[in-house]
Amino acid sequence: MCRWITNSKHLWVPVVILSLFVGLVQCQQVNDYDQIDSPAVLPLITQLVYGQISNLTTMLGQEISRQSSFCVKDPDADWNQAFNFSSDLGFLASCIKKTKGDIAKRLCTAAEVKFFLNSLLGKTTSANYLKPNKNCNLTSWVSGCEPGWACSVHSSQKVDLKNSEEIPARTSNCQACCEGFFCPHGITCMIPCPLGSYCPLATLNKTTGICEPYLYQLPPMQPNHTCGGANVWADVSSSSEIFCSAGSYCPTTTKRIPCSSGHYCRMGSTSEKGCFKLSSCNSNTATQNMRAYGIMLIAALSTLLLIIYNCSDQVLTTRERRVAKSREAAARSARKTANARQRWQFAKDATKKGAIGLQAQLSRTFKKDAANLGKVKILNQATSEAEVELLSYSRPTTSSMVASSSVAPKEKGKESSGLMQIIHEIENDPDINDNLNTEIGTRDKSATENMSKGKQPHTHSQIFKYAYSQLEKEKAQQKENKKLTFSGVIKMATNTEKRKRPLIEISFKDLTLTLKAQNKQILRYVTGKIKPGRITAVMGPSGAGKTTFLSALAGKAFGCSVTGSILINGRNESIHSFKKITGFVPQDDVVHGNLTVEENLWFSAQCRLSADLSKPEKVLVVERVIEFLGLQSVRNSLVGTVEKRGISGGQRKRVNVGLEMVMEPSLLILDEPTSGLDSASSQLLLRALRREALEGVNICMVVHQPSYALFKMFDDLILLGKGGLTVYHGSARKVEEYFSGLGINIPERINPPDYFIDILEGIAAPSGSSGLSYKELPIRWMLHNGYPIPLDMRQNAVQFDISQSVNSANEIDPNGSGHVEKTFAGELWQDMRNNVVLRGEKIRLNFFKSKDLSDRKTPGVFKQYKYFLIRVGKQRLREARIQAIDYLILLLAGACLGSLTKASDQTFGAAGYTYTVIAVSLLCKIAALRSFSLDKLHYWRESDSGMSSLAYFLSKDTIDHFNTVIKPVVYLSMFYFFTNPRSTFADNYVVLLCLVYCVTGIAYALSIFFEPGAAQLWSVLLPVVLTLIATQPKDSKILKNIANLCYSKWALQALVVANAERYQGVWLITRCGSLLKSGYNLHDWSLCISILIIMGVIGRAIAFFCMVTFQKK
């Protein structure tokens, strides 16, 4: 036993200090009651006791950390915030006085603290009742076992507070618990109340019999027992009475002060916090009203978005206007130059005619020579005098020519040949420049030289001037081409300045296509050839296999077994090896409706023309196509969609064709390009295709009953009958002759294509005396060309001489004489096998690329990514209204959920966060579906043409990142400022940012894998179902593993943990209990964020794989 004895007034302080440092371990009580009452000694004793209490609370914190590491992030910080009483030890001094220095024997030891926490955290009993123990049981129940009371150990017994193994006998000198301490029901010791609590002595409410502010009652049959102190510290639902009430703050556990005006005090606060400016805080306020900040944030965000969308749209409009002005100025300049050149040509032609007239007048007396002047021979071809005049294109008369012509009359024997020498000199002299010797010609020549030297035009004005000057030259050349003689044609063919396209010739022999699923032949024994520089029309009745034939040539005949041979330029190569120079125009107009005509064409040109081609040359190509297709008047008009009207149907069809023309193909395949067009639009389209054919392009197209004027524009014709059999393949001009040879004559005033189709359809019987039926026409074609007759057609060929039919022993009966009817299971198995084979073909086509034989290097992935990024950005800006609706819905969702869900301190706002995860996931998923589900047809067309799928996907995802960043701000601007959680705005924003990134990737996969309706249904169901699974009690390991696969579990955990981390002091047990019940860990916030990001990346990887694998059926 230790005593502090002061015999001298000046010696007590050294003695006390010495006792504090030397006898600290042995000293556990103070019995010198007189000295305790001394104002000088009491603070030192209080510090000594506080040191012992610090050891006790440190053990308490360590025990909580050991048993509940999942809810304690920093044990030292949590202990400091819960049990650091150094700022005010008044409650301790008061307790020392009350217990007369006996406080150390009344404090709980480590064993008793451990017993209390095990009972509390282990959920073995209620927080207000503990298990029986050494001091409180059925045989021993002292008054200290009652709630709010405590006892002391025997005076001769020493207490080791660090002993965690044995509970000491503590049954003597029982009295009420001190202020600032709590004494649980069932043990006889005191534990300090944590900071943020209010633990005064209780007072009896005689009406209810309850010791207020606590909820326990006095024990019966004990009239001398009074209300004690606090009786429990547990979670807020079990011990809310000791928590410092909302609207007040408790600097110590025995003081409670109302919150002043301009400040707010949450439940369990140890100090009042000042309110932000613009927020209203009355006295006794628990939270600050920050809705003004939400309104300001919404206003700022709306202003920013309006500036972005409006200014961007204005920037685009202004830029387009400036480009249009530059283009119009360049066009005017080019037309002016062309008119000047034309006037010079007329003047030159008039001079030549005058010279010829003078020569004719001088040689009039020589009839023989005059006759020779009337008709000359050039390279053994008879040409009229008028034609000779047109041979010299843009060749001015030189002084040497004039001199020679002036000498001609003086030479008697050469009068007739003088003018011819001038003409031949103009035609054949290679030293004479083709351009004018005027300023026009000089300017054109210098422009060409600058282009050749690499001095490319870089401004819009310069580029358009170059493009339109070239177009005017080409127009002038086309006019001359109509009047060219043989020597002019030779010169055109040997023109090295013009860029040549590689030629593609496709020949096919016995081409047969059979549907694998139905074992049905849809194309049979088609043999022939389509040649470069010619337009081949494929015609036939419905079901004749026209589109299938084009699909086979283009390598798109999926789900079919192909027999026979297809040769490219005489070699057995895959058509996919020439993908970069092959254009395929689908029957449907797959064009981006929210882009202008020029933007559609320009994007296709950028991605598919050679990367080595300069920008002026690409502009020239696009301008040429726009000019040839007659799209000048609508070049800046949006193409339009079903909901939004744009250009006309005929113009849309021409844009559809122009997308393939701008890539300068060598092979152009078109599926019904004239369907739905009037005669004028069809002829305009055919004239544009005719110009392409003059460049050496191999053009093959399906047409339905064209007009006779349109029919005459075709070079070759493939006529297919029912069953995919060839009826005719050859020159379109000789088809009438061929059918006349069969005795089928076309009636007068009947369009030949219509008549042929009616015959093949079986609507009209062949006229004349042929006696043929439409079923026999394919046989006649086979006999005409010496092709073998299939077995099933020989019965119809008996009346014909089939001796010409070559080896036909290997022909197979398509009806399958050995065919056996399959069972339902067999058919189902066959369908499944065919589906797997079809998927395999598509995967093999997408992942195993054919070698490139096109000799064209298109832009790489990064370049195409840039082009895609610009295109998608323009599309998003033009969808500003849809984006605004998305933001408005999110805003309303945040306001509704924020006002309806009250933030619960017991669950740290888990209910509101649950609704948040569902709402944000659902709304963001549905919005993200639009990124890919609406553009599937466009992607299929672009990927088939060789554009990069990776660039397409990344550009879409990159632009969607703007929504990923903005949407959490929009939602939280309402939800956060309505609920006002303890976690920071930044914490909530980071979690929602990762959540939106995650669900966007999942939405990509859904939109690509499913049809739009099913994708929307999945987008609604998934957030609800996954969140329900994530919030269910994890009673089994299987359910826990399933919950770990739900993104909503990690998002909800991150939100709750970020909020729970801000609850300190008296909230420590509440935090641990709530996190234990939910299965969350305070250390896993970074893990949750990482998992959300990883899930978003995985979702995008799956979406990309599905995009390149699962093509259209």
pLDDT of residue 844: 62
Give the type of residue at 901.
T
Please tell me the predicted confidence (pLDDT) of residue 2.
37
Q: Which residue has the higher pLDDT, 1094 or 438?
A: 1094
Token output for 460: 């819009």
CB atoms within 10 A of CB 1077: 13
Banded pLDDT at 1024 (limits 50, 70, 90): very high
Instruction: Report residue 270's pLDDT band, with 50, 70 and 90 as the boundaries.
Output: confident
In the predicted model, what is the mean pLDDT of the chain?
Answer: 77
Q: 974: Cβ–Cβ under 8 A, 6 or more apart, which residues?
A: 294, 298, 891, 892, 894, 895, 898
pLDDT at 27: 40
The per-residue pLDDT for 632 is: 87
213 cis-preceded (ω within 30 degrees of 0): yes
pLDDT at 410 over 50: no
468 or 611, higher pLDDT = 611
Phi, psi of 179 (to 5 degrees): -65, 140
Percent pLDDT > 90 in the chain is 18
Cα 534 to Cα 523: distance, rounded to the nearest angstrom: 23
Mean pLDDT value of segment 925-931: 92
**Nearest 10 degrees: Cα torsion 251, 252, 257, 260:** 0
Q: For the chain, how far is it from start to end, CA to CA, in angstroms?
A: 94
Look-up of token digits 């701000």: 969
Alpha-carbon gap, residue 34 to 36, rounded angstroms? 5
pLDDT-wise least confident of 247-256, 395-404, 985-994, 1095-1104: 395-404
CA 1013/CA 920 separation, integer angstroms: 20
Q: How far apart are CA 363 and CA 572, in angstroms?
A: 65
Please state, as a whole number, how many other Cβ atoms lie within 10 Å of the Cβ of residue 204. Answer: 14
pLDDT of residue 913: 92
Q: Is the CB of residue 688 less than 8 Å from the CB of residue 629?
A: yes
Confirm if 168 and 213 have CB atoms less than 8 A apart: no
pLDDT at 499: 59
DSSP 69: G
pLDDT at 958 (0 to 100): 94
356, 357, 363, 367 alpha-carbon torsion, rounded to 10° = 100
Give strand ranges (E) for 153-272.
Answer: 172-176, 181-182, 191-192, 203-205, 210-212, 248-249, 257-258, 263-264
Distance CA 844, CA 836 (A): 12
Residue 54: the pLDDT is 73
Q: Measured at the alpha carbon of residue 865, what is the angle toward residues 859 and 867, in degrees to the nearest 5?
A: 75
More confident residue, 455 or 592: 592
Mean predicted confidence (pLDDT) in 312-331: 72
Q: Are 151 and 80 in contact (CB under 8 A)?
A: no
Q: Is 977 exposed, middle or buried (0-12, 13-18, 19+ CB in 10 A)?
A: buried
Q: What is the pLDDT of residue 797?
A: 59
Highest mean pLDDT among 8-17, 352-361, 726-735, 834-843: 726-735
CA 526 to chain centre: 44
> What angle, 0 to 180 degrees and rounded to 10, lies between the N-to-C axes of helices 910-933 and 949-979?
150
Is 183 in contact with 151 (CB distance < 8 Å)?
Answer: no
User: Helix, strand, coil proportions of the chain in percent (round to 5)?
Assistant: 55, 10, 35
Q: With a cut of 60, say whether residue 126 has pLDDT above it.
A: no
Question: Over 80: is that where the pLDDT of 423 sits?
Answer: no
Give the residue, 323 or 580, on which the prediction is more confident: 580
CB atoms within 10 A of CB 755: 20
Question: Tell me, what DSSP letter sits at residue 509?
Answer: E
Residue 707: pLDDT above 80?
yes
Which residue do the tokens 């490319």 mark?
456
Q: Which candidate, 590, 660, 655, 668, places its Cα nearest to that of 629? A: 655
Sole residue written with tokens 């994530």:
1030
Which pLDDT belongs to residue 818?
43
User: For the whole model, what pTM was predicted?
Assistant: 0.79
Helix axes 1068-1078, 110-121, angle to 10 degrees: 40
The pLDDT value given to residue 796: 61
Instruction: Dump pLDDT digits (tens) for 458-501.
Output: 676 777 777 777 777 777 766 666 555 555 555 555 555 555 78
Question: Locate tokens 């009616």: which residue?
Answer: 758
Q: Is the pLDDT of residue 132 over 90?
A: no
Q: Read off φ and ψ for residue 400, nearest 5 degrees.
A: -65, -35
Q: What is the pLDDT of residue 770?
A: 60
Q: CA-to-CA distance for 663 and 54, rounded, in angstroms?
A: 82
DSSP designation for 1044 = H
Return the higher-pLDDT residue of 936 and 155. Answer: 936
- Tokens 């006529």 correspond to 719
| pLDDT value of residue 458 | 64
The pLDDT assigned to 326 comes to 72
Neighbours of 375 (CB within 10 A): 11
Smallest Cα–Cα separation from 629: which of 592, 593, 585? 585
Three-state DSSP class for 180?
coil
Q: Is the dihedral of CA 294, 295, 296, 301 positive or negative?
A: positive
The two tokens of residue 339 are: 């008119």
Question: What is the pLDDT at residue 697?
Answer: 92
654 vs 427, more confident:
654
Long-range contacts, stretch 643-650, CB < 8 angstroms, 24+ apart: 644/593, 644/594, 646/593, 647/597, 649/589, 649/676, 649/677, 650/676, 650/677, 650/678, 650/681
The pLDDT, as a whole number, for residue 274 is 83
What confidence tens digit (pLDDT) does each residue in 842-865 have? 666 665 666 788 888 889 999 999
DSSP secondary structure, 132-177, as one string: --SSSSSS---GGGSTTEEEE--TT----TT--S-PPP--EEEEEP
- The reported pLDDT for the residue numbered 865 is 94
To the nearest 10°, the Cα dihedral for 297, 299, 300, 301?
Answer: 80
From the list 42, 53, 34, 51, the residue with the least C-alpha distance to 16 is: 42
Contacts (Cβ under 8 Å, ≥6 apart) of 878: 313, 594, 638
- Please name the helix (run of DSSP H) or strand (run of DSSP E) that holds residue 669, with its range, or none: strand 667-671
Q: What is the pLDDT of residues 279-305, one digit of tens each?
A: 777 888 888 777 777 788 788 877 877
One DSSP character per residue, 955-1021 reads HHHHHHHHHHHHHHHHHHHHHHHHH--SS-HHHHHHHHHHHHHHHHHHHHHHHHHS-HHHHHHHHHH
Nearest to 466 by CA among 266, 621, 308: 621
pLDDT at res. 751: 86
For position 561, what pLDDT does the model report? 79
Give 810's pLDDT tier (boundaries 50, 70, 90). Answer: very low
Q: Is pLDDT at 961 greater than 90 in this prediction?
A: yes
Question: Nearest CA to 255 among 239, 244, 241?
Answer: 244
Q: What is the DSSP letter of 287?
A: S
pLDDT band at 701 (very low <50, low <70, confident <90, very high): very high
pLDDT at position 93: 84
Amino acid 740: pLDDT: 86
329 pLDDT band, cuts 50/70/90, is confident
Which pLDDT score is estimated for 491? 56
Sign of the Cα pseudo-torsion (282, 288, 291, 294, in order): positive
CA distance 54 to 80: 10
Q: Give residue 669's pLDDT.
A: 92
Tens digits of per-residue pLDDT, 627-640? 889 898 898 888 98
